[in-house]
A = this chain, B = another copy of it.
Amino acid sequence: MATIIDVAKLAGVSTATVSRVINDTGKVRPVTRKKVMKVVNELNFSPNVSAQILQSKQSKTIGMVFPDASSLYFSEIIRGICNYVNQFGFQIIIGSAHDEEEEVKTVSRFLNGHTVGGLVIMAPSSQNDDLFTLPINHGTPVVFISVPPVKAGTTSVVLDNFKMSVEMTNHLIKLGHRNIGFINGSSHNYDSKRRYAGYLKALQENGIEVNSDFIADGNFTEDSGYKTCLKLCELTSRPTAIFAANDAMAIGAIEAVKDSGLRVPEDIAIVGFDDISTSQYITPALTTVRVPLFNLGQVVGKTLLQKIDTNYENHIAVTERIVIPLEIIIRESCGSQLKR
């Protein structure tokens, strides 16, 4: 494998000049540039990335750490990030983690190893402050996905959960529902919390009292949706509509309603959140909120690259929060089309 020295020798210039040519830094005469590029192509030279990082202390790889639990969403998000950052020669390195402790470890390994020039951390259920303090203390630019707006000097990209949840609940209310259940996702999950908060807000705005019997605790899995909904169906005075904090649980809920001998949406309307691909195919097709994950990824990539850039110059720590707009998708499971 050819090194920069080989190129320099063959081109009859110094390594400094070769470096300047391939990185486009500093002045070099067109004649020299051409001469060097010729050899670069001949030898099929490309620089040793490790040597570059070691010397320049600037890595063009981005670490992405996320919990196993978000693997469903991860694929699209990462495609979005890649799509954006690849344009600028950046790579993505993956660190998945089973639990929070492991997530912290992964972050610190990325940081200490000087492998990454920036970090994307997905920690919707984060309880551990280290996840925030570690990279910030280290001075490495980070973008968080789906975290509460608590930490100063932190930049994050979040979904417009609250607003859409209000809208979705309002939609149910307009359809005539007053007894609306809610199935929560995992207990510490920020997305879930905001969606729940929006639901509560909508009820309150419409003067509907919250019935705690109608609030169930799931964990984002379809199974938990099924089981909690089954209980809701068995209530003597059961809800006429159920809002699940994500589609997987909504799908489980639909099965539960069916298995209880009831109909969706006639007896119980069901709505979800996420718009996963199954949602349009299940019967009845699920009314939900579309979350543009690919787009989210692009925004995250763009934001991070901006942080990295400005970070090279000056270290202004602004707290930034970018909200991704979402869209309600009305299908059959909410009963919009129904004449009541």
Residues of A within 8 A of B (CB): 1, 44-51, 53-54, 59, 61, 68, 71-72, 74-76, 78-79, 82-83, 86, 91-96, 108-109, 112-115, 138, 251, 277-278, 281-283
Residues of B within 8 A of A61 (CB): 93
Residues of B within 8 A of A138 (CB): 1
User: Given the complex of chains A and B, what is the CA–CA distance between A71 and B297 in angstroms?
Assistant: 14
Whose C-beta in chain B lies nearest to the C-beta of A282?
B281
Write the nearest CB–CB distance from A43 to chain B, whole angstroms.
10
Number of copies of chain A assembled together: 2
- Known A112-B1, A112-B44, A251-B281: A79·B50 in contact at CB below 8 Å: no
Write the nearest CB–CB distance from A253 to chain B, whole angstroms.
13
User: Given the complex of chains A and B, what is the CA–CA distance between A96 and B94 in angstroms?
Assistant: 13
Cβ–Cβ contact A93 & B96, under 8 A: no
Residues of B within 8 A of A45 (CB): 112
- Known A79-B71, A93-B93: A114·B283 in contact at CB below 8 Å: no
Residues of B within 8 A of A283 (CB): 283
List 17 extra interface pairs beyond A50-B59, A61-B93, A82-B94, CB under 8 A.
Answer: A44-B112, A45-B112, A46-B112, A49-B115, A50-B51, A50-B53, A50-B115, A51-B54, A79-B96, A82-B96, A86-B96, A91-B93, A91-B94, A91-B115, A92-B94, A93-B94, A283-B283
Nearest 8 A-B pairs (CB), nearest first?
A75-B75, A46-B112, A49-B113, A50-B53, A278-B278, A50-B50, A50-B54, A281-B282
Residues of B within 8 A of A48 (CB): 54, 113-114
Residues of B within 8 A of A71 (CB): 75-76, 79
Residues of B within 8 A of A54 (CB): 48, 50-51, 54
A sample of 29 inter-chain contacts (CB < 8 A) reads A1-B112, A1-B114, A1-B138, A44-B112, A45-B112, A46-B112, A48-B113, A48-B114, A49-B50, A49-B114, A49-B115, A50-B50, A50-B51, A50-B59, A50-B115, A51-B54, A54-B54, A68-B79, A72-B75, A75-B75, A82-B94, A83-B96, A86-B96, A91-B95, A92-B93, A92-B94, A93-B94, A251-B281, A278-B281
User: Given the complex of chains A and B, what is the CA–CA distance between A92 and B97 in angstroms?
Assistant: 13
User: Given the complex of chains A and B, what is the CA–CA distance between A337 and B86 in angstroms?
Assistant: 50
Write the nearest CB–CB distance from A277 to chain B, whole angstroms.
6
Residues of B within 8 A of A91 (CB): 93-95, 115
User: Given the complex of chains A and B, what is the CA–CA distance between A74 and B71 in angstroms?
Assistant: 11
